[in-house]
Amino acid sequence: MTASLEKADGDENISTPVADHAVVPIQQTRRGLSPRHVQLMTIAGGFGVGLFVGVGGVLSKAGPLPLIIGYLIYGLGFIWPTMLNVAEMVAWLPIRGSIYELASRFVDAALGFAMGWIYFYAGAMLVCTEYSAVATVMQYWNTDINPAVWIAIALSFCYFMNMVAVRWYGEAEFIMGSTRILLILGLIMATFVTIVGGNPHHDAYGFRNWKNGDMAHEYYAEGATGIFLSICICVRYAVFTIGGPDIISLSASEIRNPRKTIPKVAKLIVGRILFFYVVGSLLLASSATRVTLDFWVRLRTAKLAQQRLPGFWVFSVSISEGFFLDSSTFSSCCLDAQDGQAPKIFLRCTKSGVPWVCVTAVTAISLLSFLVASASASEVFSWFLDFTTVALVVKFTAMTWVFIGWCRALKAQGITRQGENNFKKSLFKKTSDRQPAPGIVFPYTAPCASWTPYLCLFIGGSTSIFIRFDIFQPWSLKGFITSYFGLAWFFFMFIFWKVFKRTKFVTPATVDIFADGKKQAVDEECRFWEEGFGDEAERDALAKKHVIIRTWARFWGG
């Protein structure tokens, strides 16, 4: 989501000029994110150093097969259907506030408030996790430098970028996201080369250890129960690593041609999960033993990585991801302030429209990462990992709750869920045999919506409750606080707003799915792209860029 508060009219990339330290009047955000921006940010969002830190520990405890199963359960059984369901709602109402606004309309205003603050909390903790992960990896490669130095450099750079790059947010994140994807692809390819024999030892060791009883390890118990619990801890790790494909739920009001782009982007998430997470884990797991092995350790063991190469990888990925997470977090805070759900001081902006109070607040929270100076970097990383994980599960579970409220409202009002995607030609037929029934035809309807939200609610709810089952025996008070604070934070904010504002759960039959006329305004706005004018303007703007940028942008749908 863009960091600035900008006017909706026109297609010029110009921020609203305001006086220094002024409180900006509430304005509509402009649709400045093109399909290529959104698609790449969806794929790259959440990819950071943390993706490669800790995977070795999980492999040593659970084994390679449970890790892959954990990604499939959480990624394909929870995240993907959740985002498809969200795409149905936000494609219909791509308005400012997005999922928070829909939560207030379809369920309860207290849910919208709690979702805004759990997202801010999760984002802030994820930023801290990213910075502490940088210190963890850099300390492995260079123990002579205090790990706090690496955090200071990364944090300062991201703060500077967020303060000055507001006008070019989409392009800046497109470039940084591209860098992140290319670096991670390079890391996966390097790992593949080593396991098939492309290493100084010419040893093709891929999948060798799968035959030696290391395919699945028992954890916390013996027998089938131990194997099941090993899958559970892999689901827990997947929660942390698959943390960022939610841009469509927050930034629908800033996406160009949202009725077409949002469903397309939601479908892309399955590719990200299968390739980057499942394939990446499969490659690393092919050489995993009961010894902790991360990507960095594997490359060093194969003698393919010198000191400068991993340092370049770590810092490039971390700065790119830090910029993305910082922007998303303080933008969420700014949205809460616009809706009267956060102090108005967070609306103070610079002349160029940067919400400097929000940026500074998120950066101030990120200073917690400097705990690495007084404790081991890996221990601090584990603390922030626990703080973050349950909040991420709660965030996506709440989205499922909103979709259930949406479906109940449609059913109570006798509205049939039929989308334009239901009447398009199939893979094997030039025309569709189905014709829309009288009534509303939605831009997109999610598949299997009669049961997937309840499956997602079960997976999300059970994961939130049992996410750290291994801290109860032996009992760990510190582990309990760090692991379940996010869950307590969500319910506290929900109850606080419900009592303070005396909100009530919405009656499905009274839900206004047209959002008090906002739907009509969005229809008028979207007609610009649906009639082809937006695509022509995008092509003209892209034609002025370098051929390499044009080629890469067109690959992502630009």
Residue 145 CB contacts under 8 Å (≥ 6 apart), including other chains: 138
Euclidean distance between CA atoms 49 and 534, whole angstroms:
36
Euclidean distance between CA atoms 264 and 256, whole angstroms:
13
Mean pLDDT lowest among 297-311, 314-328, 331-345, 537-551 = 297-311
CATH number of 31-420+459-555: 1.20.1740.10
Check pLDDT > 50 for residue 301. Answer: yes
Higher pLDDT, 192 or 453: 453
Euclidean distance between CA atoms 277 and 201, whole angstroms:
27
Question: What DSSP letter does each residue of 358-421 carry, written as one string?
Answer: HHHHHHHHHGGGGGGGTS-HHHHHHHHHHHHHHHHHHHHHHHHHHHHHHHHHHHHTT----BGG
> Beta-carbon neighbour count of residue 139 at 10 Å?
18
| pLDDT score recorded for residue 347 | 84
| pLDDT score recorded for residue 427 | 44
Residue 502 CB contacts under 8 Å (≥ 6 apart), including other chains: none
What average pLDDT is seen over the chain?
78
Check pLDDT > 80 for residue 244. Answer: no
Higher pLDDT, 204 or 81: 81
What is the model's pTM? 0.85
**C-beta separation of 233 from 470 below 8 A:** yes
pLDDT tens digits for range 472-482: 888 889 899 99
Radius of gyration of the chain (CA): 23
Contacts within 8 Å (CB) and 24+ apart, 373-376? 373/146, 373/147, 373/148
Check pLDDT > 60 for residue 15. Answer: no
The pair of three-digit structure tokens given for residue 26, joined into one six-digit string: 């509430």
| pLDDT score recorded for residue 460 | 95
Euclidean distance between CA atoms 51 and 277, whole angstroms:
9
Mean pLDDT score, 2-11: 40
Higher pLDDT, 529 or 380: 380
Query: Percent of the chain, pLDDT > 90?
Result: 25
Euclidean distance between CA atoms 107 and 116, whole angstroms:
14
Higher pLDDT, 332 or 322: 332
pLDDT tens digits for range 323-365: 666 677 877 888 888 888 888 898 888 877 778 888 899 899 9
| pLDDT score recorded for residue 287 | 56
**C-beta separation of 356 from 163 below 8 A:** yes
* Domain range annotation of the chain: 31-420+459-555
| pLDDT score recorded for residue 317 | 67
Check pLDDT > 50 for residue 2. Answer: no
**C-beta separation of 128 from 48 below 8 A:** no
Mean pLDDT lowest among 151-160, 205-214, 268-277, 358-367 = 205-214
Mean pLDDT score, 30-56: 69
> Beta-carbon neighbour count of residue 197 at 10 Å?
12
| pLDDT score recorded for residue 50 | 57
Check pLDDT > 60 for residue 518. Answer: yes
Largest Cα separation within the chain, whole Å, is 71
The pair of three-digit structure tokens given for residue 44, joined into one six-digit string: 């790259």
Check pLDDT > 70 for residue 504. Answer: yes
Token pair 């959440």 is found at 46
Mean pLDDT lowest among 154-168, 243-257, 302-316, 542-556 = 302-316
